[in-house]
Amino acid sequence: MELYRSHVLICGGTGCTSSGSDDVEKKFISELEKHGLTNEVKIVRTGCFGLCEVGPIVIVYPEGAFYSHIKVENVEKIVEEHLLKGRIVKDLLYYEALEEDEIRSINEVEFYKKQRRVALRNCGVINPENIDEYIAMDGYRALGKVLTEMTPEEVIEVVKDSGLRGRGGGGFPTGLKWKFAYNSKDDQKYVACNADEGDPGAFMDRSVLEGDPHAIIEAMAIAGYAIGSDQGYVYVRAEYPIAVHRLKIAIEQAKEYGLLGKDIFGTGFNFDLEVRLGAGAFVCGEETALLQSIEGKRGMPRPRPPFPAVKGLWGKPTLLNNVETYANIAQIILNGPEWFSSIGTERSKGTKVFALGGKINNTGLVEIPMGTTLREVIYEIGGGIPNGKKFKAVQTGGPSGGCITADHLDTPIDYDNLIALGSMMGSGGMIVMDEDNCMVDIARFFLDFTVDESCGKCTPCREGTKRMLEILEKITSGKGEPEDLENLENLANTIKSASLCGLGQTAPNPVLSTLRYFRDEYEAHIYDKKCPAGACKALLQYTITDACKGCTLCAKSCPVGCISGEVKKMHEIDQSKCIKCGACMEKCPFNAIVRK
């Protein structure tokens, strides 16, 4: 066994990779070779650490020095000072205030203090392309336990007793779904994983697959044993190349170790896995559309019942859970259902992973116990709103969710509370908005996405969402009329009740929630022809005040020549020609141009 005095963990998630962590790793390797340290220091390419805002991230153990925003030119200094001389490079550390000899662990960083990593337990800790590292973290122990010590019925009871609910959207009890699949009798059954993560701003499942793919493989094998299936499929977006690459490596490694395939652990249990790539259709996140796509057909939803647990892939009983749901399974088996159910709230057990984005200082991936408040997530974990701006709302659940206002910041996050506020948990996207966001325009943005992603099969979704989008575009362009609000609500409620699948049924949520909490903004657009946030271009007006010195810079910068005036005299803007680009306002050295 190789022993090293230091380990250098380099984030290999998509975020840090896009910021240059590949080049950082190569530089570390060359510097270690140059100084003869390759036998003493090990480089570990991990998955996402979570704090994407400060990547690329490098953590050096055993000290636990957390280096952020690392560039190739920083590597030589870390190697020569820290790894060669034992001196921590303090000017590259993430920590805000560091005492002379103080080294904080990662759990003492404000971003991580209130998190509890269960689904993400190995992300940023192990090399996801090395099965031995997963095994060293108790990997495949749960599979061994269920195959040698438990009956399928006992496995299902453990999952039921844990209180785990589906992390992909609706929050259906996972154990109950497993029991339905178990009770369906057929000569062939299937296990499927939904990794078709399509919500704007969501990257939870991607990060788990990139950082801990064996956790999904192990859980799906456990599920196969529990329901009586010998074949599984992971349906993952082709736009996730790193996740797909690591998942395929992990599957091959598991086969080489006898953890997939025939006679696993010598118990006679057979289970194999295949990867199916999705083409980016949001509707394929809906379970019946996803199964159609795995079969090679166009991904379009079908009526339920029958549910997939009774009639799924190729007409056979199929168990389908999403990535994060599976990521909890092995830990529940090893630690017991009581352990998992002790985390969270009465009706929402365990933790939930969120992709925190938008107008927030600490953009990244967070995993919190259910019941944590929105205020804790946004102001403590997320670090608050940038540039001293005022918090306005947070969108949870993506295009299927709704906006939650500042009045509800102390609401504990769980399935029931979010639904009561007109939103939903969804897969875990959490987009923060500040005072500069127009809520009418936000509703238009999400509905535009839904219209584009509708499969077109059912009339309420295909036609109704288009009509809603037309009304919202009319309002944001300054042509709204009072009856538009009533028409929006009527259309929204009809679409919710009459659409075939979850995409259509939840499509109106962003509109209904913004109408519920920000109706005054809709009314300002309609009655006053103004956008209070100054975000809707058609309703903006740039005017020159008497602070103008006649320097002519504004006129020179205007791309359409709509500004006139003499030198050293106040200028004017021809509103009929103005394209509202804001170039004049940016160039004015006297702050004499205002936007209304």
What is the CATH code of the structural domain delimited by 439-528? 1.20.1440.230
Is the C-alpha dihedral spanning 385, 387, 390, 395 positive or negative? Answer: negative
CA distance 263 to 221: 12
pLDDT score for 534: 87
Residue 290's H or E segment, with its range, is helix 287-294
Mean pLDDT of 431-456: 95
Q: Which residues contact 318 (CB under 8 A, 6 or more apart)?
A: 181, 189, 190, 191, 192, 291, 308, 309, 312
Residue with tokens 């269920």: 146
CATH class of 351-434: alpha beta
* CATH architecture observed for domain 131-340: 3-Layer(aba) Sandwich (3.40)
Residues of 191-200 as b/e, b for ≥16 C-beta within 10 angstroms?
bbbbbbbbbe
Main-chain phi, psi angles of 506, to 5 degrees:
-105, -5
pLDDT score for 216: 98
Q: Decide: helix, strand or coil at residue 287.
A: helix
Mean pLDDT of all residues belonging to the chain: 94
pTM of the model: 0.92
Nearest to 518 by CA among 431, 402, 415, 379: 402
254 and 260 in contact (C-beta within 8 Å)?
A: yes
Confidence of residue 365 (pLDDT cuts 50, 70, 90): very high
CATH class of 541-595: alpha beta
Residue 364's H or E segment, with its range, is strand 364-369
Residues of 402-433 as b/e, b for ≥16 C-beta within 10 angstroms?
bbbbeebbeebbbbebbbebbbbbbbbbbbbb
- Read off the tokens for 147: 């195959």
In terms of C-beta density within 10 A (0-12 exposed, 13-18 middle, 19 or more buried), how is residue 105 classed? exposed
The terminus-to-terminus CA distance of the chain in angstroms comes to: 69
Nearest to 240 by CA among 20, 18, 46: 18
Mean pLDDT of 547-552: 94
Do the domains spanning 6-112 and 131-340 agree at the CATH topology level?
no
Confidence of residue 96 (pLDDT cuts 50, 70, 90): low
Helix 241-256 to helix 213-227 angle (10° resolution) is 60
pLDDT score for 101: 53
Integer CA distances (angstroms), 282 to 197, 200, 204, 323, in order = 8, 10, 16, 16
For residue 97, pLDDT beyond 50: no
Q: Which residues contact 353 (CB under 8 A, 6 or more apart)?
A: 119, 120, 167, 204, 208, 324, 365, 366, 367, 428
CA distance 389 to 207: 30
pLDDT score for 537: 87
pLDDT score for 1: 56
Q: pLDDT tens-digit profile of 24-83?
A: 999 999 999 999 999 999 999 999 999 999 999 999 999 999 999 999 999 999 999 999
CA distance 478 to 393: 23
Main-chain phi, psi angles of 271, to 5 degrees:
-160, 130
- Read off the tokens for 277: 């790539």
Q: Which residues contact 76 (CB under 8 A, 6 or more apart)?
A: 27, 31
Q: pLDDT tens-digit profile of 368-395?
A: 999 999 999 999 999 999 999 999 999 9
Instruction: Report the topology of domain 6-112.
Output: Glutaredoxin (3.40.30)
pLDDT score for 98: 45
Where are the domains positioned within the chain?
6-112, 131-340, 351-434, 439-528, 541-595
pLDDT score for 398: 85
SS3 string, 435-484, reads: CCCCHHHHHHHHHHHHHHHCCCCCHHHHHHHHHHHHHHHHHHCCCCCCHH
For residue 152, pLDDT beyond 80: yes
